[in-house]
């Protein structure tokens, strides 16, 4: 696999370029702002999928709780926007003006201490990355240092997603409860609800996504990336090559979580609210499916998979809302059984060789056919 | 502090039990600098467990293990590796999804923390060393092959190569010629003779011909205890050993 990865590195760059043209030129020119905003929303899930490529596809750590980190990032952003929208002037009809409306409804009379830092944009932006990374770090250290992995880790992350959802819903005076944090209006006085703002936020989202993709690409192309693959193959051997495996797992888990959090923040900005329904078990599993469909070992595959599945979800659930979940489940089973490397695997294993043959690359094919057979030892 | 001795490795009075079963029972073993020690014994004698204890994979319930006069009982596997103990497993344990080059590169004893690995540069020195080791393990022409496509014997060699590039002071080999064809076995014996120079080695092996050809001293384990220790001839002549191997 790694050999084909190295070979495919240039193909990957071409893929990045095609995707960039599609996202930055073709879609904005051909879609109205409503649909483009939808694409922007899908792209925020793609951050999670890109993180999962590193964490799951390369290292073999299946996290079924990435919604937690997406949500934490989104909530950190939403808390800042909510405080800005809750100025004394805007909330003078409340019994305590100057605090978010849902706090007032829940008889809170002053801002909880952990909301105070979110009055500042720089602090809020730092928190977007720091809070989820810290959560991932604590969970990662607690699990990986004790060598909890595989299915157990997946279940614990899933439990974490459930716990955070329940916590958010239960403490509605502090979190906005099941409705989430809504009615977000401006970012430093700039109205994020206008079409113009949505265009700009879409492009910011694309830029952040490509930044994250290049970051993950850099990490996976380094020796660290090969160590991650080695950990997936035989974790024990990596220890006996002198590496502290837990540190590498914690690192990649934090990386995936930080990227998911950026996606969450972009979600809040583009969609205009954040709620526990993007934190829990179902969205977390959906994000794994996006990644699996696109190809869990391909950064581009993860983004394309996310876009396609969500596009399909929108089309399909507009006409057959009750069938969508069955279709989604079927899709996941099909991917696992029939093409485990996802769409990206289909492209690199099937489509590219086929194109190679079509374009008269007989020699290439012949060369591939005579690839060194396992040489008998003597 | 352990006594200042010349031993590279001192295993003293070590016991380990799994759910009441004593896999290793009050075992002591001393390895000299540059010594090649072969451990033999019937199935279930605790041979692999002894290696597990030394390399930190299993914790001793009693006793002390020291390497170059430093206690290593509480250290983690990677810390023990960094002190200079290398281990080859019974079944070839390599990175199947990486190439031969990458397998060896990862085993190169540098850049072993997260930042070191992230900003790792493939210097000329490293490339040269990897190629040199690949030639030694008969894989010079297969350097870009995926490890999973290698034959069983080649995988064993690759794992030996991964240890070689680590350059450990104490090398532990668990059945290095198991599952090999006769010709592979001969080449491996040559290879082992090459790589055991200038270091201490513990080998677990069943193949008596192979043992005879390499061993300085032989330790016979039986039911978690040392049954006999000495030169190959002395061991073969020992009636207790004959009984264990032939008596039933």
Instruction: Please report the DSSP string for A93-132 in residue order.
Output: TSSSTTS-HHHHHTT--S--GGGGGGGSHHHHHHHHHHHH
Which residues from A are below 8 Å from B117, CB to CB?
A: 222-224, 227, 243, 248
The tens digit of pLDDT for each residue in B63-113 reads 999 999 899 988 999 999 999 999 988 888 899 999 999 999 999 998 899
Q: Do B106 and A247 touch (CB under 8 A)?
A: no
At B185 the three-state DSSP class reads helix
Strands (E), B32-98: 36-40, 62-67, 70-71, 85-88
B120–A372 CB contact, under 8 Å: no
CB contact under 8 A, B153 and A377: yes
Contact A378 B142 (CB under 8 A): no
The pLDDT value recorded for residue A360 is 63
Residue of A211, A202, A199 lying closest to A259 (CA atoms): A211
pLDDT of residue A121: 95
For range A108-128, the mean pLDDT: 94
The DSSP symbol for A293 reads: H
pLDDT of residue A7: 57
Residue in this structure with the two tokens 């105070």, named with its chain if needed: A116
Nearest to B120 among A3, A223, A378 (CB): A223
Please indicate whether residue B243 or residue A59 has the higher confidence score (pLDDT).
A59
pLDDT digits (tens, 9 = 90+) for A76-104: 999 999 999 998 888 888 888 889 999 99
- ipTM for the predicted complex: 0.89
Is the CB of residue A87 less than 8 Å from the CB of residue A327? no
Per the model's pLDDT, the better-predicted residue between A28 and B5 turns out to be A28
Tell me whether residues B97 and A243 touch, CB distance under 8 A: no
Q: Residue A242 is nearest to which of B97, B120, B166, comparing CB atoms?
A: B166
Q: What is the 3-state secondary structure (H, E, C) of A358-371?
A: HCCCHHHHHHHHCC
Residue of B120, B144, B183 with shortest CB distance to A378: B183
> Are A222 and B166 within 8 A, CB to CB?
no
User: DSSP assignment, residue A65?
Assistant: -
Q: Are A223 and B120 in contact (CB under 8 A)?
A: yes
Please give the pLDDT value at position A216. Answer: 97
Which of A320 and A61 is assigned the larger pLDDT? A61
Q: Does A239 touch chain B (CB under 8 A)?
A: yes
Kindly list the residues from chain A whose CB atom is less than 8 angstroms away from the CB atom of residue B102: 2, 226
Over range A307-319, report the average pLDDT.
86
Query: What does the pLDDT average to over A25-37?
Result: 93
Q: Would the CB atoms of B117 and A227 count as touching at under 8 Å?
A: yes
pLDDT of residue B98: 94
Please report, to the nearest 10 degrees, the dihedral formed by the alpha carbons of residues A163, A164, A166, A169 taken in order.
170
Q: Which one of A227, A232, A245 has the shortest CB-CB distance to B106?
A: A227
Strands (E), chain A: 186-187, 190-191
Average pLDDT over every residue of A357-365:
59
B95, A378: Cβ pair inside 8 Å? no
**Can you tell me whether residue B109 is helix, strand or coil?**
coil
pTM of the model: 0.90
Give the pLDDT of residue A75. 96
For A3, which of B118, B119, B146 is closest by C-beta distance? B146
For the stretch A216-266, pLDDT in tens is 999 999 999 999 999 998 999 999 999 999 999 999 999 999 999 999 999
Facing residue for A223 by CB, picked from B97, B117, B150? B117
In three state form, how does the secondary structure of A6-40 look?
Answer: HHCHHHHHHHHHHHHHHHHHHHHHHCCHHHHHHHH
- Selected residue of A8, A215, A240 to mutate for chain B interface (largest B Cβ count, 10 A): A240
Q: Which of residues 156-215 of A touch B (CB under 8 A)?
A: none
> What letter does residue A347 receive in the DSSP assignment?
I
**pLDDT-based confidence at residue A361 (cuts at 50, 70, 90):** low
| Chain A residue whose CA is closest to B155 | A377
CATH number assigned to the domain covering B9-246: 3.40.50.300
pLDDT mean over A109-116: 92
- State residue A6's pLDDT score: 53
| Average pLDDT for chain A | 89
Residues of chain A contacting residue B86, judged by C-beta atoms under 8 Å apart = 240
Q: Taking CB atoms and an 8 Å cutoff, what residues of chain B touch A377?
A: 138, 151, 153-154, 181, 183-184, 187
Contact (CB<8Å) B94/A237: yes
Which residue from A minimizes the CA distance to B153? Answer: A377
| CB–CB contact B78 A244 (8 Å) | yes
CB contact under 8 A, B95 and A234: yes
* CB–CB contact B97 A2 (8 Å): yes
Q: Find out whether A341 and A349 touch, Cβ atoms under 8 Å.
A: yes
Q: Which of A227, A233, A240 sits opposite B81 (nearest CB)?
A: A240
Question: How do the domains of chain A map onto residue ranges?
Answer: 2-361
What residues of chain A lie within 8 A of the CB of B113, using their CB? 244, 247
Query: Whole-angstrom Cα distance, residue A305 to residue A154?
Result: 21
Domain map (residue ranges) of chain B: 9-246
Q: Which residue has the higher pLDDT, A319 or B199?
A: B199
- For A167-188, the pLDDT digits (tens) are 999 999 999 999 999 999 999 9
CB-CB under 8 Å, B96 with A240: no
| pLDDT recorded at residue A370 | 38
Q: Is the pLDDT of residue A3 over 90?
A: no
Residue A243, classed as helix, strand or coil, is coil
The stretches in chain B having pLDDT less than 70 are: 1-4, 246-248
Question: Percent of chain A beyond pLDDT 90?
Answer: 70
Instruction: Render pLDDT for A136-156 as a digit per residue (tens, 0 to 9).
Output: 999 999 999 999 988 999 999
Collect all residues of chain A within an 8 Å Cβ-Cβ radius of residue B89: 236-237, 240
């Amino acid at each position: 696999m790694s050999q084909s990865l190295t070979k495919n590195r240039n193909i990957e760059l071409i893929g990045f370029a095609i995707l960039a043209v599609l996202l930055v030129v073709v879609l904005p020119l051909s879609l109205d702002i409503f649909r483009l905003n939808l694409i922007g929303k899908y792209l925020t899930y793609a951050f999670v999928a890109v993180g999962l490529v590193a964490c799951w596809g390369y290292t073999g750590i299946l996290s079924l709780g990435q919604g937690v980190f997406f949500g934490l990032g989104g909530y950190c952003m939403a808390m800042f926007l909510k405080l800005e929208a809750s100025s004394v002037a805007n909330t003078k009809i409340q019994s305590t003006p100057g605090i978010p409306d849902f706090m007032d409804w829940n008889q809170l009379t002053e801002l909880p201490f952990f909301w105070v830092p979110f009055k500042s944009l720089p602090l809020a932006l730092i928190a977007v990355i720091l809070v989820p990374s810290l959560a991932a770090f604590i969970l990662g250290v607690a699990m990986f240092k004790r060598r909890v992995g595989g299915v157990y880790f997946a279940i614990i992350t899933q439990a974490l997603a459930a716990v955070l959802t329940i916590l958010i819903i239960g403490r509605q005076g502090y979190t906005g409860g099941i409705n989430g944090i809504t009615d977000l209006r401006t970012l430093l006085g700039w109205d994020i609800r206008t079409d113009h703002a949505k265009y700009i936020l879409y492009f910011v989202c694309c830029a952040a996504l490509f930044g994250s993709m290049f970051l993950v690409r850099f990490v996976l192309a380094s020796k660290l990336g090969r160590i991650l693959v080695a950990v997936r193959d035989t974790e024990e051997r990596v220890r006996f090559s002198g590496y502290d495996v837990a540190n590498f797992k914690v690192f990649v888990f934090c990386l995936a979580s930080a990227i998911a959090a950026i996606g969450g923040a972009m979600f809040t900005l583009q969609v205009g609210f954040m709620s526990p329904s993007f934190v829990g078990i179902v969205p977390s599993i959906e994000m794994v499916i996006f990644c699996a469909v696109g190809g869990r070992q391909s950064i581009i595959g993860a983004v394309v998979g996310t876009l396609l599945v969500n596009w399909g979800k929108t089309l399909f659930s507009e006409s057959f809302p009750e069938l969508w979940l069955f279709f989604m489940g079927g899709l996941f089973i099909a991917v696992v059984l029939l093409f485990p490397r996802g769409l990206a695997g289909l492209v690199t294993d099937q489509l590219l060789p086929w194109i190679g043959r079509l374009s008269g690359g007989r020699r290439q094919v012949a060369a591939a056919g005579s690839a060194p057979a396992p040489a008998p030892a003597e | 502090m352990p006594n200042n001795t010349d031993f590279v490795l001192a295993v003293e009075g070590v016991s380990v039990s799994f759910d009441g079963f004593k896999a290793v029972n009050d075992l002591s073993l001393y390895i000299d600098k540059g010594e090649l020690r072969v451990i033999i014994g019937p199935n279930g004698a605790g041979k692999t467990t002894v290696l597990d204890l030394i390399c930190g994979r299993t914790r001793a319930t009693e006793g002390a293990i020291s390497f170059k006069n430093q206690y290593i009982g509480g250290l983690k596997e990677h810390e023990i590796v960094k002190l200079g103990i290398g281990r080859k497993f019974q079944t070839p344990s390599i990175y199947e999804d990486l190439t031969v080059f990458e397998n060896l590169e990862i085993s190169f004893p540098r850049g072993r923390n997260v930042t070191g690995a992230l900003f790792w540069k493939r210097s000329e020195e490293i490339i040269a060393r990897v190629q040199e080791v690949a030639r030694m393990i008969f894989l010079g022409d297969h350097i870009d092959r995926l490890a999973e496509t290698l034959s069983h014997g080649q995988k064993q060699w690759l794992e030996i190569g991964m240890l070689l590039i680590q350059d450990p002071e104490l090398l532990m080999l668990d059945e290095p010629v198991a599952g090999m064809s006769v010709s592979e076995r001969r080449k491996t014996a040559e290879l082992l003779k090459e790589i055991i120079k200038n270091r201490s080695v513990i080998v677990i092996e069943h193949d008596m011909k192979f043992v005879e050809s390499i061993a300085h001293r032989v330790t016979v384990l039986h039911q978690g205890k040392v049954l006999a220790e000495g030169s190959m001839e002395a061991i073969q002549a020992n009636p207790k050993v004959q009984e264990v191997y032939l008596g039933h």
